[in-house]
Structures are given as C-alpha cells and as structure tokens.
Amino acid sequence: MRLGLKRQVTLATAIAVLGTTGLAIAAAPEIAAAIAARKANYKEIGGDMKTISDEIKTGAPDLASVRPAARDLVNRASGQLKYFPAGSGPESGEKTRAKAAIWTDYTTFSTAQSDMLIAAKALQIATDGGDLASMTAARNTLGNACKACHDKFRELE
C-alpha cells in the first residue's frame, strides 16, 4: 500500500520530532544484546589493563596475575569487531558511547582495532618474557592504541 504525499510528510515529521525530543524506539533485541556484550567486553579489557598496570607499578609484577590478563586481552581484542554490528550505534536508542563515526569510517575504525590487537600481542610477548621494562613499554603502546581509538570513536561520559 502506498502512502499519499500528505501521510508521507506526516510520518516523516513524526519521526523527526521523536528524534529531536530524545524519544527513541527500542532497539531490536539482537542490537541491544550486541551493545550489552560490547560493554561487558570492554569492562573486562579495562580490568585486564588495570591488573597489568597495577602490577607493573609495583616494580616486581606478579607474573601469575599479569600473564593471564595479557592473554585475555589478546583474546578479547581479536574479537572486537563482532561487537559493532550495523545499527548498534547512537541510532539504536540504546545507551552507548560508540560514535556514529565507527560505521561511517569503518576502515579507520577496523585499522584502530587491528592496532589494538597488535599491541595486545606485543604485551603478551613481553609478559611471557617477564622483563619489567619491556612490559612497561608494551603496556604504554597498548594504552596509546586504546586512547587513539577512544579519542576518535568513543563519546565522553
């Protein structure tokens, strides 16, 4: 059934008003689940980074804590892109700090994710070696990769 021009304009106006008033239609369940999984994954990444950083700050890191955290970082970084399906950005109506730029500049975003994975692997290698200076440098490189992505693709709180 085709809508008449008047109904099309009315529908378009209603959609625009909803969008500008902050009201949103609930995201599809699979999109809401993807966003929740993305948040959970990043929370775990943050926990791993905290564990590693706290241990490095001691000057004598507990490798039994640092090594599993570094391995987990690599595993989580390798699957990052699956947490960003189309429609899971701000347009979803769900609370997310993901900027629309992720999907409009996906090539740059996926390169940033690749940089994160490379840095996470370097950190894992450094923790396997156990040298404090190498771990510190690798942690800093990974932190810089995270920051570069956050600066471009993540909203501030």
- Give the chain's domains with CATH numbers: 28-153 (1.20.120.10)
Q: Which amino acid is at 59?
A: G
CA atoms within 13 A on the CB side of 30: 5
Instruction: Calculate the CA 47 to chain-centre distance.
Output: 14
CA-CA distance, 63 to 47, in Å (whole number)? 16
How confident is the prediction along the chain (157 residues), in pLDDT tens digits per residue?
454 545 544 444 444 444 444 444 556 899 999 999 999 999 999 999 999 999 999 999 999 999 999 999 999 999 999 999 999 999 999 999 999 999 999 999 999 999 999 999 999 999 999 999 999 999 999 999 999 999 999 998 7
φ, ψ at 154 (rounded to 5°): -130, 130
Query: 98: helix, coil or strand?
Result: strand
Across the strands, what pairs with 98?
A: 154
pTM of the model: 0.81
